[in-house]
Amino acid sequence: MIGRYRGLGLLVLAVVSVLGLAACSSSSADDGPEDSQPVTLMLNWTPNAHHVGIYVAEAKGWYDEAGIDLTVIEPAQSGVEQAVASGAAQLGMAQAESLLPARAAGVPVVSVATVLPVNDSSLFALASDGIDRPKDLEGKRYGGFGGALETEIISRLVTCDGGDPGLVDFVNLGNVDYLAGLEADQFDVAWVFSGWDALRASEIEGAEISEIRFADWLDCIPNWYTPLFLTSEGELSGDPELVRDFLAATTRGYDYAVEYPDEAASLLTEQVPELDEALVEAAVRYYAPLFRADGQQWGTQESDTWKRFADFLADAGMLQTESDQTGQTPTDTEADFVESAYSNDYLPGAGTAP
């Protein structure tokens, strides 16, 4: 039984200052309705197709209708969770692999919606290298950030497919142009989102690639939510209606992208003109049928998904129990930890949250 978790530092959880962060879209309090409330949303990355619902809602005036004067900023290297917990931003976007260790370290943030119900991650390679399944990674070079999650996921995939993960060469590269690196023979395979970097390589650059999609191997590795929307426990207790109003407008934005992907893509590139228009159009079309699970509204999270991923992190040593640290009997059960990490109660139609 897993007790109270403590993070092992997957991400640096230093206090984040928003000073110097680049605003990717913003409106001052003077520009919105007189009774609008200034709200800051910190993204998980630079703007891309994952964020299309936000930009649709902004362009359509749905945040204004909800009384929200939204400012969108990009993240600092130290992450989003601490910024949201400290009040530097009321809401943020992150991922389960950073949120769970943050909560385990005592950072009071809660996931309130997922952008995608199924992780869109994949390992991609040049088709000529013959990497079509995890076992094919034997003798190949994986280029990445050198993170513990990367090592564990790839090791589990290769082992599950009957291979030896010890034969995979891990090369630390950081943030690079993955297609250029593959073509320059700096590495053989990289971890990307299928609907962005892999799509760029195949549909925009015309490269012949192969992919190992995580969604095809969920018997071997867990699904997890990335990216997701989060807020602080303080915000949920102090101003829950703000969170509900934000999610209501944001849900409208993603629902619109599902129904009208081409127009949604145009609204995104109009507000972020530095993005590749062709890539955005292709990516939003790709994601439109993936934003919602069958029979569920956008943003819904499942307890089993959170539990399985938390178990995975704990088994891999990326989360530790309080008893492991102190020898004391845990006061929180595994279920308590998982259930407190997320909530569907602030999505449209959920009623009044406790």
Q: Does residue 155 share a domain with residue 76?
A: no
Each residue of 53-108: pLDDT tens digit? 999 999 999 999 999 999 999 986 768 999 999 999 999 999 999 999 999 999 99
Average pLDDT of the chain, as a whole number? 88
**CA angle at 344 for the pair 340 and 349, rounded to the nearest 5°:** 150
Q: Does residue 336 share a domain with residue 234?
A: yes
CATH, residue 248: 3.40.190.10
Q: Does residue 268 share a domain with residue 254?
A: yes
Query: What is the domain range of residue 330?
Result: 5-118+225-340
Each residue of 30-56: pLDDT tens digit? 444 568 999 999 999 999 999 999 999
Q: Over its length of 354 residues, how does the chain's per-residue pLDDT go in tens digits?
A: 233 333 333 333 333 333 333 344 444 334 445 689 999 999 999 999 999 999 999 999 999 999 999 999 998 676 899 999 999 999 999 999 999 999 999 999 999 999 999 999 999 999 999 999 999 999 999 999 989 999 999 999 999 999 999 999 999 987 788 999 999 999 999 999 999 999 999 999 999 999 999 999 999 999 999 999 999 999 999 999 999 999 999 999 999 999 999 999 999 999 999 999 999 999 999 999 999 999 999 999 999 999 999 999 999 999 864 444 444 333 444 678 999 999 999 999 885 444
Where does a domain end: 166, 192, 217? 217
Q: Does residue 231 share a domain with residue 92?
A: yes
Q: CA dihedral defined by 38, 43, 47, 50, rounded to 10 degrees?
A: -110
> Is 346 a member of any domain?
no
Q: Does residue 164 share a domain with residue 74?
A: no
- Which ranges constitute the DSSP H helices of the chain? 52-59, 62-65, 81-86, 96-104, 148-160, 178-183, 199, 233-238, 240-259, 261-271, 277-287, 303-315, 322-326, 334-340
Q: Does residue 139 share a domain with residue 111?
A: no
> Is 190 a member of any domain?
yes
Where does a domain end: 183, 217, 251? 217
